[in-house]
């Protein structure tokens, strides 16, 4: 992952945590605010009760005055204005409160007061004609409720006051008439304000206001400006007329609270409630929102600390990660260098081992072809066997390298199942026979004759298993079973069930896990003499995994093992292959066309290699093709010939001193003056590590051939690239004739060396099968026919063996010429 992405993810996580914290803090703050506002509303309603009770008390006192005056009138002894005022003066206790009595029936609104004018101590007259406070009492004055005026200026002392009213009947002393009057209990507003002082303890900045229906204040705190609350609200809280009306209605009709902006545009809260017992008076409690939501600041502090902490943690982690990354980079660099070193080593190993191997195997092939000396041929055969083993080890290492690098691919091709089986049997049967082991083949005759899959890898897997079985079995034998069943999921495919059972040393349960570990060899000390790298099973398992299969092992230590796997393969030709022997013969007849042996006297071939012996090997391997082969031991020499002479095919070694194969081919391709512009150039390489093919094709080679050179592959490649008109293939008739004359011989002997020798001596002229015991012979004869059985003097044979086909020999005395003569004589007698 890129560093930037890690930082982004970390920041996102930090952001997410902060978001959760903020949300949590906000939710808690919101809950806290709601609780605070609810408590504030409760305080408001409590205050309203206090104020309402106070106002009712004041009204009650006013009513007592009025009742006393009116009862006198009702009793027929109405009081004069002076008497009434005199009574009120006596009745009232507080000097701050005054009583006014004015006439209302003539609209003069004048009368007298209990207190004298502030400017004239002798003047008790009072005049309300210029003070508009009675207009608001639209419904008149009613008994049983608070009849309260707005705050107004007491005309006698200029004090802002409120008035409680009641009607009275008084006697006009001048006229003697009973007149309607109004008794007014005048209470300074400041007295009411004093009642609210107690609230300061609970809320530091609360301000209580009383407003009337129109919003005019009776009292108001210093934060609420204007003379009218609604106008104040409108001035600092812009909104649509509809919204404004909703707010006004809410205040006039219920209890609640809302946020408003004050004159400084600060968030504030008002709680409102109507004054109970009064018409159209409302209590508004104002408080700055910050006082109700102070607790929220604690959350922000916590959030700040958490944020700083998280960012410090992030920074710390980034520093640590950076440190780790530095170390990882160094380690990765070292690993890369090690990997490069490994690749270089593999490349070098492949090249450096294959190059001499090419000479060894190539020259050995010459010996096997040309020599007629018995001992020499025996030694050469041993060299070939050792060479094949060594090549197998190298190939295993290279395969494993490819698997590790992820460059191994499964390449499905159509293949004949009989051919595959034949290669396997040929390879293993001989080795088993050499060790005197029985090799039993149990093949399902219903297996389709043509399948699609990676033939090479399947062969490699089974070969590894069979080779292991042979290697680790000292006595007994090997049973190789293959059956098939229909694939339920895919009608076009079959499942091959492959099983190899041996009577070998077996594997301990605790060692089963090591079986598929690369370079791990079970019981290393005990099996020291058995060749191998410890890669075979690991490679087999890897290949099977790549083909969606799995190698299963059942083993009993000391008794043997069963290796098995199931493999899904596409069916190309569903025709059953039938009995293996018959099918094998059919296969042989079918494959004749591919086993091309040709002569091409007109063909001109150039081979370039810096190693002289390799040039000799190459020339000798192809000597029977009668081609005209020229050699060059360096790139420069090759280029000189390339410019001068025409060639049908050029083989160019890769790893050469001074100018290597790639540099040489580039120069060749750049060369305009040459008759070889269209000549295919094939790379000869001892470097068979992964990725080579791509490199060679990219460099301009048409193909490549690995060393040690396999004659069959070499001839096949030549057939592919040589012009057909100069190639003369061996005719089909000759091949068929040759095949028909070949007789089969079964050799039975307990001496393995003798068996190997006899096989080598007779194989040039006959198909030779060797077995170690009468049981193996019986098993072989059960499935095969043979023309001759050669057995030792004392070798026991099972009953029912055709005696006419048996020749007894003294194996201690017979030599190659004797064995060949013996066979020739036998077959001569038959004809």
Partner 1 sequence: MKKSIKRIISAACAAMMLLAVPGCGQTGGEVSKEFTPRYSTETEYKLTIAGTYSNFESLESAFERFYAYYPNGEIQYVYLDDYRNTIIPALAGQEPPDIYVVQPWMYGDDQFAPLFDGAEVLSDPELDINLDCIRSGVRWEMDNGEILALPVFATSYGMLVNMDIFEKENLEVPENFDELVDTCEKLKAAGYESPVMGANTTTTPGIGYTFAYPMFAKTVKDDRSVEDGLNNLDPAAGEAMRDSLTRLKEFIDAGCIDVEKCSAEIEDDYNSVIMRFFEGDVPMMLCSGDVVSGTKKRESTSEAFSANPFRYDFYVAPSGDESGYYMDSVSILFSVNKNSENLDMTNEFIRFLTSEDQLGLMAQEKRLINPTDDYSIDEIYSSLSGFSEDCTVNFRDTELLDTTVKQFRAAAFAVVNGEMTVDEAVAGYGTIPTD
Q: Which stretch binds partner 1 (CB under 8 A): 126-134, 398-406, 493-501, 531-539?
A: 126-134
Q: Does 152 bind partner 1 (CB under 8 A)?
A: yes
Which region, judged by CB under 8 A, interacts with partner 1, from 174-182, 258-266, 459-467, 527-535?
258-266
Virtual torsion, Cα 565, 570, 575, 578, nearest 10 deg? -20
| C-beta separation of 552 from 512 below 8 A | no
Does position 231 interact with partner 1 (CB under 8 A)? The reply is yes
Q: Of 104, 113, 154, 685, which lies in the binding site for partner 1, with binding defined by CB under 8 A?
A: 154
| Contacts with partner 1, 303-342, as mask; x by CB under 8 A | -xx-------------------------------------
The values of phi and psi at residue 479, to 5°, are -115, 120
| Region 185-204 residues binding partner 1, contact defined as CB under 8 A | 188, 190
**Binding-site member from 67, 160, 290, 385 for partner 1 (CB under 8 A):** 160
* Residue 158 found at the interface with partner 1 (CB under 8 A): yes
Q: Which is nearer to partner 1, 231 or 388 (CB)?
A: 231
> Which helix (H) or strand (E) element contains residue 568?
strand 560-576
Query: Please, which residue, 66 or 284, has the CB nearer to partner 1?
Result: 284
220 within 8 A of 209, measured Cβ to Cβ: yes
The single residue among 46, 53, 153, 821 that binds partner 1, judged by CB under 8 A, is: 153
Segment (H or E) for 778: helix 774-783
Label the pairing between strands 438-443 and 125-127.
unpaired
Dihedral sign (CA 420, 423, 426, 428): negative
Using the contact rule CB under 8 A, the part of the chain among 227-235, 274-282, 449-457, 724-732 near partner 1 is: 227-235
What values do phi and psi take at 461, rounded to 5?
-60, -50
- Closest to partner 1 by CB, 305 or 739: 305
Strand partners for 210: 219, 283
Whole-angstrom distance, CA of residue 723 vs CA of residue 741: 33
Half-sphere exposure of 118 (CA within 13 A, CB side): 9
User: How far is residue 416 from each of residues 447, 492, 494, 587, measured CA to CA in Å?
Assistant: 11, 16, 14, 8
Rounded to a whole number of angstroms, the minimum distance from the CB of residue 151 to partner 1 is: 9
The verdict on 132 binding partner 1 (CB under 8 A) reads yes
3-state secondary structure of 795: coil
According to the binding rule CB under 8 A, does residue 243 interact with partner 1? Answer: no
108 touching partner 1, by CB under 8 A: no
Size of the site for partner 1 (CB under 8 A): 32
Residue 448 · residue 495 · CB < 8 Å? no
Q: Which tokens in the block code for residue 252?
A: 């006039």
Site for partner 1 (CB under 8 A): which residue of 45, 86, 157, 573? 157
Choose the stretch contacting partner 1; rule: CB under 8 A; options: 222-230, 366-374, 442-450, 744-752. 222-230
- Using left for φ > 0, alpha for ψ between -120 and 50, and beta otherwise, residue 297 falls in alpha
Min CB(131)–partner 1 separation in Å: 5
Do residues 560 and 476 make contact, with C-beta atoms less than 8 angstroms apart? yes
Using CB under 8 A, pick the residue from 5, 119, 725, 731 that binds partner 1.
119
Whether a cis peptide bond, with omega within 30° of 0, leads into 708 is yes
Question: What is the rounded CA–CA span in Å between residue 222 and residue 129?
Answer: 31
Nearest residue to 757 via CA among 439, 366, 377 = 377
Judge contact between 353 and 347, C-beta under 8 A.
Answer: no
Taking residues 596 to 625 in sequence order and writing x for each that binds partner 1 by CB under 8 A, - otherwise, the string is: ------------------------------
Binding of partner 1 by 225 (CB under 8 A): yes
> Residue 234 Cβ, how far from partner 1 at the closest point, in Å?
9
Q: Which of 91, 118, 410, 530: binder of partner 1 (CB under 8 A)?
A: 118
If one asks whether residue 263 binds partner 1 (CB under 8 A), the answer comes out as yes
Nearer Cβ to partner 1 (120/775): 120
Among 226, 533, 564, 620, binds partner 1 (CB under 8 A): 226
Binding partner 1 (rule: CB under 8 A), the pick from 301, 319, 410, 530 is 301
Residues 112 and 128 sit within 8 Å (Cβ to Cβ):
no
- Residue 80 makes CB contacts below 8 A (sequence gap 6+) with 170, 171, 172, 173
- Scanning 1-9, 74-82, 124-132, 700-708 for contacts with partner 1 by CB under 8 A, the matching segment is 124-132
> What is the binding site for partner 1 (CB under 8 A)?
96, 117-119, 130-133, 152-160, 188, 190, 222, 225-228, 231, 235, 263-264, 266, 301, 304-305
């Amino acid at each position: 992952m890129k560093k930037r992405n890690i930082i982004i993810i970390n920041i996102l996580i930090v952001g997410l945590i902060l978001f959760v914290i903020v949300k949590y803090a906000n939710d808690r703050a919101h809950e806290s605010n709601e609780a605070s506002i609810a408590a504030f509303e409760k305080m408001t309603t409590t205050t309203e009760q206090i104020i309402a009770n106070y106002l009712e008390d004041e009204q009650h006192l006013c009513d007592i005055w009025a009742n006393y005056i009116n009862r006198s009138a009702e009793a027929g002894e109405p009081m004069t204005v002076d008497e009434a005022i005199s009574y009120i003066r006596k009745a009232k206790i507080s000097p701050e409160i005054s009583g006014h009595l004015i006439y209302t029936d003539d609209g003069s609104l004048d009368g007298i007061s209990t207190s004298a004018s502030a400017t004239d101590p002798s003047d008790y007259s009072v005049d309300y004609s210029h003070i508009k406070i009675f207009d608001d009492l639209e419904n008149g004055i009613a008994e049983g409720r608070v009849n309260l005026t707005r705050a107004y200026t007491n005309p006698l002392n200029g004090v802002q006051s409120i008035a409680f009213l009641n009607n009275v009947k008084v006697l006009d002393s001048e006229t003697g008439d009973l007149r309607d009057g109004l008794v007014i209990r005048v209470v300074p507003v400041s007295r009411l304000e004093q009642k609210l002082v107690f609230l300061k303890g609970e809320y530091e900045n609360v301000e209580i206001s009383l407003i009337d229906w129109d919003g005019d204040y009776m009292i108001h705190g210093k934060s609420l400006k204007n003379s009218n609350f609604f106008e104040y609200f409108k001035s600092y809280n812009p909104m649509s007329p509809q919204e404004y009306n909703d707010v006004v209605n809410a205040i006039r009709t219920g209890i609640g609270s809302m946020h408003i902006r004050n004159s400084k545009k600060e968030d504030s809260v008002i709680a409102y409630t109507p004054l109970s017992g009064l018409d159209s008076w409302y209590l508004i409690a104002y408080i700055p929102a910050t006082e109700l939501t102070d607790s929220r600041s604690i959350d922000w502090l916590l959030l700040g600390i958490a944020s700083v902490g998280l960012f410090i943690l992030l920074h710390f982690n980034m520093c640590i990660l950076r440190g780790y990354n530095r170390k990882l980079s160094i380690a990765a660099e070292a690993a890369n260098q090690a990997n490069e070193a490994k690749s270089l080593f593999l490349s070098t190993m492949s090249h450096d081992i294959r190059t001499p191997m090419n000479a060894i195997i190539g020259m050995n092939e010459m010996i096997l072809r040309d020599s007629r000396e018995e001992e020499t041929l025996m030694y050469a055969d041993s060299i070939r066997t050792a060479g094949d083993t060594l090549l197998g080890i190298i190939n295993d290492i290279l395969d494993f390298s490819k698997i590790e690098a992820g460059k191994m691919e499964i390449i499905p091709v159509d293949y004949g199942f009989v051919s595959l089986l034949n290669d396997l049997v040929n390879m293993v049967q001989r080795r088993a026979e050499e060790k005197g082991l029985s090799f039993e083949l149990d093949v399902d005759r219903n297996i389709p004759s043509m399948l699609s899959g990676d033939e090479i890898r399947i062969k490699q897997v089974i070969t590894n298993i069979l080779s292991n079985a042979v290697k680790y079995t000292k006595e007994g034998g090997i049973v190789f079973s293959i059956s098939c069943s229909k694939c339920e999921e895919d009608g076009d495919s079959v499942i091959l069930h492959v099983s190899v059972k041996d009577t070998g040393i077996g594997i301990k349960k605790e060692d089963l896990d090591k079986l598929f570990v690369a370079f791990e060899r079970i019981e290393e000390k005990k099996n020291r003499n058995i060749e191998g790298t410890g890669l075979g099973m690991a490679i087999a398992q890897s290949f099977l995994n790549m083909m969606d299969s799995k190698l299963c092992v059942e083993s009993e230590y000391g008794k043997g093992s069963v290796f098995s796997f199931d493999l899904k393969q596409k069916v190309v030709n569903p025709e059953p292959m039938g009995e293996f022997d018959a099918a094998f013969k059919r296969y042989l007849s079918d494959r004749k066309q591919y086993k091309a042996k040709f002569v091409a006297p007109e063909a001109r071939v150039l081979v370039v290699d810096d190693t002289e012996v390799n040039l000799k090997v190459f020339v000798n391997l192809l000597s029977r093709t009668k081609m005209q082969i020229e050699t060059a031991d360096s790139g420069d020499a090759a280029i000189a010939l390339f410019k001068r002479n025409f060639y049908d095919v050029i083989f160019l070694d890769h790893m050469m001193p001074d100018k290597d194969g790639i540099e040489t081919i580039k120069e060749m391709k750049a060369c305009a003056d040459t008759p070889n512009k269209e000549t295919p150039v094939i790379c000869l390489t001892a470097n068979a590590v992964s990725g080579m093919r791509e490199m060679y094709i990219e460099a301009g080679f048409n193909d490549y051939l690995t060393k040690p050179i396999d004659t069959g592959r070499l001839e096949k490649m030549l057939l592919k690239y040589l012009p057909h008109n100069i190639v003369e293939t061996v005719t089909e008739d000759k091949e068929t004739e040759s095949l028909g004359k070949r007789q089969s011989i079964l050799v039975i002997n307990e001496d393995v060396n003798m068996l190997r020798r006899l096989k080598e001596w007779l194989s040039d002229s006959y198909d030779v099968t060797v077995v170690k015991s009468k049981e193996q012979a019986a098993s072989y004869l059960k499935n095969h026919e043979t023309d001759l059985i050669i057995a030792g003097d004392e070798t026991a044979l099972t009953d029912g063996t055709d005696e006419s086909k048996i020749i007894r020999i003294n194996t201690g005395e017979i030599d190659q010429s004797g064995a060949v003569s013996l066979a020739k004589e036998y077959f001569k007698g038959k004809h």
